Structure 1
Amino acid sequence: MHIVDRRLNPGSKSLENRQRFLRRAKALVKNAVKKSSEGRDIKDVLEGGEVSIPLDGMDEPRFRREGGTRDMVLPGNKKFIEGDILPRSGQGRGRASKPGEGDSEDAFRFVLSRDEFVDLFLDDLELPDLAKRKLAQAEGEGIHRAGYATSGSPANISVSRTVRLALARRVALRRPRPEQIAELEAELADCDEDRRAGLITEIAALKAKARRIPFIDPIDIRYRRFETLPKPVAQAVMFCLMDVSGSMTEHMKDLAKRFYMLLYVFLKRRYRHVEIVFIRHTDRAEEVDENTFFHGPASGGTLVSSALQAMHDIVRSRFRPADWNIYAAQASDGDNFGSDSEIAGRLLTEMILPVSQFFAYLEVGESDGNAFDMPDSSLWSLYERLRANGAPLSMRKVRDRSEIFPVFHDLFQRRGKQEKTAP
């Protein structure tokens, strides 16, 4: 039985052809998705959209004969052979240097669905150093061999088991062997008339019995059977620490929230049951729900140590480091009360970083100028000193919305086992 999938997509092409195209042009489409996402809002990422790839990525693979001698008849053509590009008169393709001159290529525009867009954007992202310290229960499903069955798909037929059962049945029913019948027929050719009639009757009876007992019967056929069983996966928790103090302007808070919204989409899309803990702080910290974290108003002074202390207390009470992979992402404008820096540094070096798999710090600034031109804040200088002493910290600065996607991708891109996180 053959099943042909003829479901249509927005481009009116069969789904299988669409998926084959995406696999072939995946690298080009991924680059186009990243460029397209830089100018989008976070919520727009989930809506899919149109991307453009160069036409040279549309070439179909084909076999070509190289070398040798061939005889060809090309009626009416003495100049061109297969593969030559024919010049076009008039205006060139795409944008040219002058009207009617030059050569360029139009972009191929391709519409991606919401799921395709998000999957391609998150394809090479992952939580760094995800160690399977303790396996959670029933977090996923895996395929497991579960013996044999008398029915199933032809692709799952167990030939060895089927032949073995057929042989056992033939032996039990005493099915005549072909060699036995051949011996009697050879004896029949040389026997006398008295013995001939008996041999003919015996041979006919054996052949009739062989026809009644088939070589392979449907009751002999066995199929390999598979069952889905719970597949354990690693436990992980992500702490989102956001500064909402009075020094954080609306623009800075918007940048921080966009980063966390993208992080939220990434975790929910790539990992089935990763815990997310939202902590926001001014001069005091509190654990809040998702809605309050992204939309609740707040203002006040700044004590970064309050957020770090809250994270430490939650880890100690709910997430044993021996059982959980612990991650943290902190966003702040870098301002902190002067005497608090020493407390924050001690909390990081003694309590937070020793039990964390990854700690990312995002410093947000005003939109005027480049992120690399931002002066070092007190918090940035503190983290720089800690990182210089070997602390596993990743630090980035952003000033504009368009910088959120590249920075996020840089922080969470898939890395080799021996490759260290870039500073």
Structure 2
Amino acid sequence: MSIFKKHKTIADRSAGDRERHRKKIEKAIKEGIHDLVAEESIIGESGKKKFRIPVRGVKEHKFVYGENGGKRVGSGEGNDLSRGQVIGKKKKGKGNGGKPEKPGNEKGEEFYEVELTLEQVAEYLFKDLELPNFEKKKNAQVVSKKIKRKGYRTKGIRPRLDKKKTALERIKRMKKEEFTGKREADSDDSFSYNERDLRYKHYAVKEKKTSNAVIFFLMDISGSMGKQKKFLSRSFFFLLYHFIRSRYDKVDIAFVAYEAEAYEVDEKSFFERGSSGGTIASTGIKMVNEIIDSRYHPSSWNIYAFHASDGDNWPTDNDNVREQMSLCLPKMQFYGYCEVEPSTERMQWLRESSLGTTFENISHDKLKTSRISSKEDIWLAFNTFFKGGELS
């Protein structure tokens, strides 16, 4: 007959398991983020779209019959066995594990899938990232949100139960009863937990009004930007867009696309528009300057720009790029240039990128460059621009 014994403590014994589970999900998202953001089907999608994330290394434990093929061994009285001793012999495997794109006949690594929305993915990815060099400006409008600890409560959900605080409340109650004579000080009777002892951590969303901010999305859409280049550029901007929307309220985003001419466009056109024209990069930077001068004065706004291009530019335009950047950078908190150069198209032995070389020769503490050659580089490039509110 089975005997069930009630555990005396009310402490949440599964809290550690949940924390390990949360960390595994976070690790799975970060390891697979290049596949997630580089899915062409999600570019431009809302935060409610759901994705299935494979989480490895989590097994459901259960008793199974042994496969050692040897004599069955028990561990009851009369057997000279010590705790932890391995009994029986492990059956040697004869199969072969599967290799990429090849079949195998051995068991693979166990994993399961969790379903998350884009908003939930953003919470895992961006919790430690901030816009670099953010300054206090007049006429504060931007609302940034953070979850802060705010004391304890006597009611709450089990995952937020504070074991240490609960134990202290129990001790306080016990000492009080001893002081008032309701309980003998040296009593051997157990002193069980009471509902009144429970203390739960309380969290509150703290909204903070900070200064105004505008983010410029600047993208090369010329004829030299082939399908793969556009795909990598849009994937980077898609990640940037969800970072801003998940971390900040009331931030302006201005979308600028350029080829031989520059255009201010809406969000949908930015992620879908293409062109067969030539490339004059200075027109895009000039339009950013004009929009700043007409709508976003640096004394009231934190100004950021993120620029993606394949590095091609009309040779005589590079001097104009330097001139426009000399006007642009003093107004800005940060300018990030991201060069997309798919590994299948790299031809370093023929030429260097004219626009990339131009940016690398501009010495300014608010300018940073990165390179994307494949979808695996998207998250790495993103991280070069954001690191705890400072330039990384």
Q: Give the TM-score, by structure 2 length.
A: 0.64
Do the aligned partners of residues 95 and 384 (structure 1) sit closer, same or farther apart at CA in structure 2, a change above 3 Å counting?
same
Give how far 1:297 is off: 3.5
The partner residue of 1:410 within 384, 387, 391 is 384
Give how far 1:255 is off: 1.7
Which residue matches 2:301?
324
Q: Which has the higher contact order (CA 8 A, sep 6+)?
A: 2
The partner residue of 1:52 within 34, 50, 55 is 55
Give how far 1:135 is off: 5.5
Work out the percentage of aligned pairs sharing the same amino acid: 29
The 8 Å contact of residues 51 and 112 in structure 1, kept in 2 or not, is answered as no
Give how far 1:75 is off: 4.7
Give how far 1:238 is off: 0.8
Which residue matches 1:368?
344
Task: Name stretches of at least 5 consecutive residues in structure 1 with no aligned partner.
Answer: 1-15, 60-73, 98-103, 144-152, 156-226
Give how far 1:401 is off: 2.9
Give how far 1:229 is off: 9.8
What is the total number of aligned residue pairs between the two structures?
300
Task: Name stretches of at least 5 consecutive residues in structure 2 with no aligned partner.
Answer: 1-11, 44-48, 62-75, 99-106, 148-152, 156-203
Give how far 1:391 is off: 4.1
One-letter code of the match for 1:113? Answer: L
One-letter code of the match for 2:263? Answer: E
Which residue matches 2:255?
278
Q: Deviations over 1:121-163 (max 9, x none)?
A: 33333322222324634847899xxxxxxxxx978xxxxxxxx
Equivalent-residue separation in structure 2 for 1:22 and 1:297 (angstroms): 46
Q: Give the TM-score, by structure 1 length.
A: 0.60
Is 1:259 the counterpart of 2:259? The answer is no
Do the aligned partners of residues 80 and 273 (structure 1) sit closer, same or farther apart at CA in structure 2, a change above 3 Å counting?
farther
What secondary structure is seen at the aligned counterpart in 2 of 1:287?
Answer: strand
Is 1:24 the counterpart of 2:20? The answer is yes
> After alignment, is 362-371 or 317-326 more displaced?
362-371
Q: Deviations over 1:311-366 (max 9, x none)?
A: 111111111112211111111111112221112112212x2111211211111224
Give how far 1:276 is off: 0.7
Which residue matches 1:39?
35
Do the aligned partners of residues 344 and 109 (structure 1) sit closer, same or farther apart at CA in structure 2, a change above 3 Å counting?
same
Do the aligned partners of residues 117 and 318 (structure 1) sit closer, same or farther apart at CA in structure 2, a change above 3 Å counting?
same
Do the aligned partners of residues 373 and 253 (structure 1) sit closer, same or farther apart at CA in structure 2, a change above 3 Å counting?
farther
What secondary structure is seen at the aligned counterpart in 2 of 1:347?
Answer: helix
Which residue matches 1:117?
121
Is 1:398 the counterpart of 2:375? The answer is no
Q: Deviations over 1:247-302 (max 9, x none)?
A: 22222222212211221122112222221100011121111111111123333222
What secondary structure is seen at the aligned counterpart in 1 of 2:90?
Answer: coil
Equivalent-residue separation in structure 1 for 2:19 and 2:255 (angstroms): 37
One-letter code of the match for 1:235? Answer: N
Higher helix share: 1
Do the aligned partners of residues 44 and 240 (structure 1) sit closer, same or farther apart at CA in structure 2, a change above 3 Å counting?
closer
Equivalent-residue separation in structure 1 for 2:221 and 2:22 (angstroms): 40
Which has the larger Rg?
A: 1
Do the aligned partners of residues 284 and 105 (structure 1) sit closer, same or farther apart at CA in structure 2, a change above 3 Å counting?
closer
The 8 Å contact of residues 42 and 262 in structure 1, kept in 2 or not, is answered as no
Equivalent-residue separation in structure 1 for 2:256 and 2:383 (angstroms): 23
CA RMSD between the two structures: 4.0
Which residue matches 1:341?
318
Equivalent-residue separation in structure 1 for 2:304 and 2:133 (angstroms): 10
The 8 Å contact of residues 370 and 384 in structure 2, kept in 1 or not, is answered as no
The 8 Å contact of residues 49 and 117 in structure 1, kept in 2 or not, is answered as no
One-letter code of the match for 2:219? Answer: M
